[in-house]
Chains A and B, each alone.
Chain A
Amino acid sequence: MAWIADTYLAFKFGDTNALGCVTGKPVGQGGIRGRTEATGLGVFFGLRELLADGELLKKLGMTSGMAGKRIIVQGLGNVGYHAAHFCELEGAIITGIAEREGGIFNADGLDVAAVFKHRTESGSILNYPGAQNVAEASQLLEYECDVLLPAALENQIHAGNAARIKARIIAEGANGPTTKDAEKILIERGVVILPDLYLNAGGVTVSYFEWLKNLSNVRFGRMGKRAEEASLRRLVSTIEQTTGKSISAQERELIIQGADETSLVRSGLEDTMIVAYHEIREVMHQIKGIEDLRTAAFYSAIEKVGVSYQSLGIFP
């Protein structure tokens, strides 16, 4: 994306906001730390929020928490890879990964980073040590699991396979992986769908942060990080003096840590995903007749756009 910014800059010489014309730039060219994994991390935060939602989980007959949940991922691109990776770190078991050339399955779990390395080196996801090959990748979507995470293309779950999907939760990392017809079948069967417009919004959210960074022409954390650390250092010293006990250098380092750009971006993203989830759930509680997350998400968004038109009018 740097070349787009560069071209724009050439025509807008002297415009200090010019770098904000495009996002997803490399960090050295006005990009932001944390953008690469943003969508996948957002998917993780959204799924984690659902897996802490006692009311919905009760209907699904599932226990709360990410740990031990079996997840099948379609697509090992930017979104699928990072989403699977963060879920794995939180204790989820990635049992299957589907890609263009086929899929792999291992009920005991796959090491996402190792699978990625295997695919990069061998040119194919197939023949990963210890995993079973699934020649037709789309078949893998119908395997037994708790969460199905489509993170590739649209129209992957359609009227033709929806009835055979065994996952209880579909987490839409991709845009439009579930068709309207498929959704009808899935909802009738009590499957919960975390909709694309919510779940993969982490990408545009961090792009927004990048835009803010470009408009302010300063790296996030540059002003506050050291002040925060100094304050924490004073706090630790006071505690040590008061109690007469000292803490180890390792503990001190862990406590005295000001927020840098990566942690601020992740914090903003986490808050965004948590707040939006509860707004969606609030719609489901407030509006009679809305019983699924997608309709609730669309409703919430439509009302917000509607408020803009009401306060600004339709002109110009």
Chain B
Amino acid sequence: MSNTQIQGKDFYNSVLQFYDQAAQFSKLDPGILSQIKACNSIYKVNFPVEVDGHVQVFEGIRVQHSHHKLPSKGGIRYSVYVDEEEVMALATLMTFKCALVDVPFGGAKGASKSTRVPAPWKRWSA
């Protein structure tokens, strides 16, 4: 059940197709529908951390899919395999998830990626 880069892309494509499938029934302006579909902002940072005496570069990704309500909300994935498109897919889902159940937040998702999983991740994500 491992996850790869290709799957992140597939996942995001699936989410977009699910969106389009539903959006075709909407009477909203097509421009507004494109705005609702798009990820509003994607932030990426690379930063060094000393782990067990070795300097290791971490990649941080934060996708805010929608600012229609603030704050935007979504968890953080700590993973070796996560990629930008997977985070985009999850952030997109968060927007519609929150709207569906009347939780007044925009959708977002974050990820912290490294080449190997440092032991503290287990503790952090708890």
Binding site for B on A (CB under 8 A): 3, 24, 100, 137-138, 152-156, 175-176, 178-180, 196-198, 200-201, 204-205, 207-208, 272-273, 275-276, 279-280, 287, 289-290, 294-306, 308-310, 312, 314
**B101 to A302, Cβ gap below 8 A?**
no
Residue A198 contacts which of B69, B86, B100, B103 (CB distance < 8 angstroms)? B100
**What are 28 of the A-B contact pairs (CB < 8 Å)?**
A153-B3, A154-B7, A155-B11, A175-B89, A176-B15, A179-B10, A179-B14, A198-B100, A201-B97, A201-B101, A204-B105, A205-B101, A208-B73, A272-B102, A287-B25, A290-B25, A297-B100, A298-B18, A301-B96, A301-B97, A302-B36, A303-B26, A305-B66, A306-B33, A306-B36, A308-B68, A312-B68, A314-B32
Residues of A with C-beta under 8 A to B33:
302, 306
Interface string of B76-97 (1 = CB under 8 A from A): 0000000000100110011111
B51 CB within 8 Å of chain A: no
Partner of A295, one of B7, B11, B22, B97: B22
Q: For chain A, what secondary structure do more than half of its interface residues adopt (helix, strand, loop), or is it mixed?
A: helix
Check if A204 sits within 8 Å of B96, measured CB to CB. no
- Among candidates B1, B10, B100, residue contacting A197 with C-beta atoms closer than 8 Å: B100
Known contacts A290-B25, A304-B99; decide if A176 and B14 are in contact (CB<8 Å).
yes
Q: Does B42 contact A (CB under 8 A)?
A: no
For the complex of A and B, 10 pairs with smallest distance between CB atoms: A298-B22, A301-B96, A301-B99, A304-B99, A299-B22, A306-B28, A180-B17, A308-B68, A301-B100, A208-B103
- Collect the chain A residues with CB atoms within 8 Å of residue B98's CB: 201, 204
A290: B residues at CB distance < 8 A: 22, 25
Binding site for A on B (CB under 8 A): 1, 3, 7, 10-11, 13-15, 17-19, 21-23, 25-26, 28, 32-33, 35-36, 66, 68-69, 73, 75, 86, 89-90, 93-105, 124
**Residue of A24, A204, A312 ringed by the most chain B CB atoms within 10 A:** A204
Q: Are A207 and B100 in contact (CB under 8 A)?
A: no
> In the complex, which residues of chain A have a beta carbon less than 8 angstroms from the beta carbon of B23?
298-299, 302
Contact for B26 among A137, A176, A205, A306, CB less than 8 A:
A306
Chain B contacts for A100, CB-based, 8 A: 1
Q: Which of A153, A279, A298 has the most CB of B within 10 A?
A: A298
Please pick, from B7, B36, B103, the residue contacting A309 in the complex, using a CB distance under 8 A.
B36
CB atoms of A180 and B22 under 8 A apart: no
Closest chain B CB from A106 CB (angstroms): 21
- Among B32, B97, B103, the residue within 8 A (CB) of A306 is B32
The answer on a CB contact under 8 Å between A204 and B101 is yes
**Given contacts A204-B94, A309-B36, A299 and B10 within 8 Å (CB-CB):** no
Tell whether, in the assembled complex, residue A295 and residue B26 are in contact, meaning their CB atoms are under 8 Å apart.
no
A250 to B111 alpha-carbon distance, docked (Å): 50
